[in-house]
Amino acid sequence: MTEKKVYADFMEWLSQSWYGLPESEELLPLIKARFSEEEASFLTGFPYRRTPIAELAELKKMEEKELTEKLDALALKGLLWKDHKKGSLRYGLNDLFFSVYRSGFWPGREDEYTATMAPPANRYLTNGALDNFAMAENKGLRTLPIRETIMPNTTVKPYEDVVKLLDAFEYYTVSACPCRFRKQLDPDSETSKKPLEVCLHFDELGHYIVENNLGREITREETEQILKKAANAGLVHGLSNWQDKPDTICNCDKDHCFMFEAYHDLNHHKSLDRSNFEVETHPSTCKGCGLCVKRCPMEALKLTEYPDADQNLNKKGLTPLLTEDCCIGCGVCVVKCPTQSLILKEKREEDRTDPPQNALDWTLRYLEAAKSGKKLLR
Ligand code: SF4
Ligand code: SF4
Ligand code: SF4
């Protein structure tokens, strides 16, 4: 079979995952950078479902021992899922979004293989990869407010309370942020100065990551320190966008995160889904420094004239004005305000939303939206 046919068949197979495979001239170079011809041929028809090794051995007509060695090597590259469930070793093919935009860069390796993948991955991201996400009402992540920025005595739902979330997890891991690392490896992209090792995963996904050298185990205390460092650096916490068993907390920045690229550069109607909070400003104590405006990843704040400003405190006579529709309720502006003139307050009842119930619910909504073909743009 020719190389062209091998990759064509493989792309056809990849297009059958939940993610689909938006077409683009950038796609083939990316797939060739991520999968060798031999891997593409071997993985065509490989089940997405987590499948016991005995079943796979039959499918591939190979001895279990020899096949296990082969599959382990592919899991170490982040191309296959691997777990031990129901008394059996299982593997499943990761969709392209996972194997490029997540596992491809989690290890933070500066080797030639990863560096070759970065430029086409960046180009495909703004030229096809997010086409189906444009139609999704619920994005992959939901804003998780910085806990200390929420107005005291507020009842916070479990999926918005980082302390309760961390209490519920049993296993904590960290990897490199794939978005920032991908840009760092690409000579055509700007490098970020924000912390890199801040991509947090938990429990089942965490075990997969550590067992396959895609990240490292950390303690709960280290997890809290990373979240604090991220918040101080102006990164937005983003939680898997479902209520039962979320497994990821991303720490995203305006200039490198694909969620914000989708909003600012591709005009998607959202970046991350909004939390049930929004910022409240207190102009009487504001000194008009503009730090909150610079830190806001959504450009939701603008400095405007404030004639009632106390001239001793606020020499510029300026204070931030909020565009409510743009605020995702992250608290990034609040946490560093030198005069505590900002706070996160709960939104009106009628404006509050809940995330989808579980990962399956999220996926079904995504598939329904992708089928509609209707892009939700600003
Ligand atoms: S979504 Fe955010 S944290 Fe996750 S990889 Fe992208 S920038 Fe990093
Ligand atoms: S950071 Fe605080 S003090 Fe500075 S402009 Fe914003 S609200 Fe005012
Ligand atoms: S104004 Fe901006 S930084 Fe502040 S909470 Fe809203 S989106 Fe976040």
* Mean pLDDT, residues 88-113: 98
Provide, for the chain, the percentages of residues in helix, strand and coil under a 3-state DSSP scheme, each rounded to the nearest 5. Answer: 40, 15, 45
Cα of 249 vs centre of ligand 2, distance in Å, is 27
The model's pLDDT over 187-239, given as tens digits with 9 standing for 90+, comes to: 999 999 999 999 999 999 999 999 999 999 999 999 999 999 999 999 999 99
pLDDT digits over 309-337, tens only? 999 999 999 999 999 999 999 999 999 99
Sign of CA dihedral 246, 243, 278, 220: negative
What does the chain come to in residues?
378
Judge whether residue 86 has pLDDT over 90: no
Does any ligand 1 atom lie closer than 6 A to the CB of residue 366?
no
**Three-class SS state of 211:** helix
Task: Tell me the best of 282, 292, 298 to mutate to test the pocket of ligand 3, counting ligand atoms within 8 Å of each CB and taking the most.
Answer: 298
The DSSP code for 242 is S
pLDDT tier, 338 (very low <50, low <70, confident <90, very high otherwise): very high
Phi, psi of 217 (to 5 degrees): -75, 140
pLDDT digits (tens, 9 = 90+) for 129-151: 999 999 999 999 999 999 999 99
Residue 275 has pLDDT above 90, yes or no: yes
Going along the chain from its start, the domains and CATH numbers come out as 3-120 (1.10.10), 138-275 (no CATH), 277-350 (3.30.70.20)
Q: DSSP for 127-159, please give it.
A: IIITTTGGG-SS-SEEE---GGGBPTT----GG
Q: Give 87's pLDDT tier (boundaries 50, 70, 90).
A: confident
Starting from the CA of residue 290, give the closest ligand.
Answer: 2
Residue 377 reports pLDDT greater than 90:
yes
Q: In whole angstroms, what is the distance from residue 236 CA to residue 246 CA?
A: 17
Task: Kindly indicate the confidence band of residue 300, based on its pLDDT and cuts at 50, 70 and 90.
Answer: very high
Diameter over CA atoms, the chain: 80
Q: How far is the CA of 124 from the centre of ligand 3 (A)?
A: 29
Q: How far is CA 327 from CA 81, 109, 260, 296, in A?
A: 36, 35, 13, 9
* Whether the Cβ atoms of residue 126 and residue 344 lie closer than 8 Å to each other: no
**Ligand number nearest to the C-alpha of 274:** 3
pLDDT of residue 343: 96
Taking the C-alpha atoms of residue 123 and residue 148, their distance in angstroms, rounded to an integer, is 37
Query: What is the per-residue burial (b if ≥16 Cβ within 10 Å, else e) of 255-294?
Result: ebbbbbbbbbebebebbbbbbbbbbebebeebbbbbebbe
Q: Token pair for residue 99?
A: 């194997």
CA distance 128 to 24: 6
Q: Which residues of 66-101 are buried (b: 16+ CB within 10 A; e: fewer)?
A: ebbebbeebbbbbbbbbbeeeeebbbbbbbbbbbbb
Per residue in 35-82, pLDDT (tens digit) is 999 999 999 999 999 999 999 999 999 999 999 999 999 999 999 999
pLDDT at 201: 98
**CA 290 to centroid of ligand 2, rounded, Å:** 6
- How much is the pTM? 0.97
Residue 115: pLDDT band by 50, 70, 90 thresholds? very high
Contact between 303 and 288 (Cβ < 8 Å): yes
Residues 329 and 344: beta-carbon distance below 8 Å? yes
Distance CA 161, CA 142 (A): 12
Ligand 1 lined by 101 (C-beta under 6 Å): no
pLDDT at 92 > cutoff 90: yes
Cα four-point dihedral sign 159, 139, 143, 155: negative
Residue with tokens 């939104």: 347
Q: Percent of the chain having pLDDT more than 90? A: 98
Determine whether the shortest distance from the Cβ of 252 to ligand 3 is under 6 A.
no
